[in-house]
Chain A
Amino acid sequence: MSDLDRIIPETRAAKNCARSPRDFGNALPVLNEIRHALERLVETGEETRIDLSGMPFGPGDLDRLTAWLGKGEVTATVEALGPTQIQETAIPGVWLVDYRSGEGQRLTLHLEIAPVPELLRPQPRDLAEALTLLDARLEEDQGTPPESS
């Protein structure tokens, strides 16, 4: 089973749920919340995060939601404090961010409605230090401090 499948499981449970006669559940309200968030992103650029691990989901609700959202083109893994698996859904701008511990247990699962999930972007303070880091490497290589423009 790939890491990706752990985020969007196409499990028997999910298939059973699709056939299930149950017409209730908490997946639909979350889809509505995603819709509002996407509207805000398109109109004002405002980003939204939704914590799926805090939802009162019943059996199959999460599978049903992820099945509805589908898989997009982008997947990424961030290795920091254990792996975090990021999957673009079939809806551009809607991302599943699955935070795992070093032992592979889920710490939390977020939906991010943003052009790029925050964890993928360089952190502002890292970016601020980037030039110094690059200069240090150049200096190490060439023995002279690089000229600043």
Chain B
Amino acid sequence: MATPIPEKTLGERLRDHGLSRRGFLKLCAATASMMALPASMVPRIAAALEQARRPSVIWLSFQECTGCTESLTRSHAPTLEDLILKMVSLDYHHTLQAAAGEAAEEARLQAMEANAGEYLVIVDGSIPGPDANPGFSTVAGQSNYDILMETVEHAAAVIAVGTCAAFGGLPQARPNPTGAMSVMDLVKDKPVINVSGCPPVPMVITGVLAHYLTFGRLPDLDAYGRPMAFFGQSIHDRCYRRPFYDKGLFAESFDDQGAKEGWCLYRLGCKGPTTYNACATMKWNGGTSWPIESGHPCLGCSEPSFWDGGGFYEPVSVPLTANAGTLLTAGAVGAVVGGGSAALAKHGVKKADAERQPVTIDELEQTQ
């Protein structure tokens, strides 16, 4: 029997594209930065990336505004082309891919079968739960819930990108008309990594992928299932306005002398003390600035239930509550990705394909 030709390593693939060894070192320096790892890790990253193989990635978009995809595709470091196309194999993303309809869905099923037990699923958007009307959000006639459960069944791990996928986000805000749920509310038997933010910092999305690619495992997570490297410290702890907070110097309105002097925005509603995210260091728009540097208080967009946490311009009163089940799951699943049984998984993919049922007109017309 002929031995299959092993897929090229990332190092080989990049050299095929004409990347020199200095170019590769530079890519590793940018990758370390993206993973919020110390620059001293660059040689280790270079050794690991040299041997890495591209993971297959399936990106599912549900009840979302496409802001998360926009955030990533406007990412500058490295460019989407460099990172996504060379470092991962993006096999399905219905907003970005050229294929549509049956052909697109076929691409997803093929990727699932070929990489069963090993592919990554990225989800943006919340999902109408199993008890909600399945017609609230469908892709190719399938409910979001069915597609999610079918796709994650043989995945290595799931990355919930954006606050909607991570915590329910805007669709789940009271009164939650679509019965929106987060990925970790629904997926209990796979590692789920939450990259929250509305939208998330693009380098954090790519940083999680780069971490998986480099070290073959998912990064360490906090109690909400978010990567510690990016969400380990509060905005408040890394805020350059913090010395003013400590001295009790606060802007009282957006145009008073305190605001002009760059004083702390706490009294204008800043949620920095209860918000964990990487904005203060990674910043936005190619590292240009971030909300607090632009003179606006932090809205707390990477925290659960931030839409229901009171007025954006009310001083923080620690209103943020995640549902208890959500928290327990996040802690219990852990971050290590098992290999899984690929053969068994492939069989399962075929079975799922045969059993898929589109949402019917009757179901669409049901009221909740």
Which positions in A face B, CB cutoff 8 Å?
22, 24-26, 48-51, 53-59, 61, 78, 80-82, 84, 97, 99, 101, 103, 105-108, 110, 118-119, 123, 125-126
Contacts and interface: CB of A to CB of B under 8 A. Distances in A.
Q: Which 4 residue pairs of A and B lie closest in terms of their CB atoms, listed nearest first?
A: A58-B240, A49-B39, A80-B23, A108-B33
Interface string B320-341: 0000000000000000000000
A56 B21 contact: no
B30 to A, nearest CB: 4
Contacts of B286: 105-106
Contacts of B282: 53-54
A55 B23 CA distance: 24
A133 to B, nearest CB: 13
Contact of A99 (B29, B40, B241): B29
A78 B22 contact: yes
A105 B243 CA distance: 31
B76 to A, nearest CB: 5
B22 A80 contact: yes
B39 A57 contact: no
Contact of B26 (A50, A54, A57, A107): A107
Contacts of A59: 240, 262, 293
A139 B119 CA distance: 49
Contacts of B186: none
Contacts of A54: 33, 36, 281-282
B240 A56 contact: yes
Contact of A123 (B25, B30, B36): B25
Interface of B: 19-27, 29-30, 32-33, 36, 38-40, 42, 76-79, 238-241, 243, 262, 280-282, 286-287, 293
Contacts of A108: 29-30, 32-33, 77
27 contacts: A24-B243, A49-B40, A49-B42, A50-B39, A53-B282, A53-B287, A54-B281, A54-B282, A56-B238, A58-B262, A58-B293, A59-B262, A78-B22, A80-B19, A80-B23, A81-B24, A97-B29, A99-B26, A101-B78, A105-B76, A105-B77, A106-B286, A107-B77, A107-B78, A110-B39, A118-B25, A126-B20
Contacts of B239: 56
Contacts of A26: 240
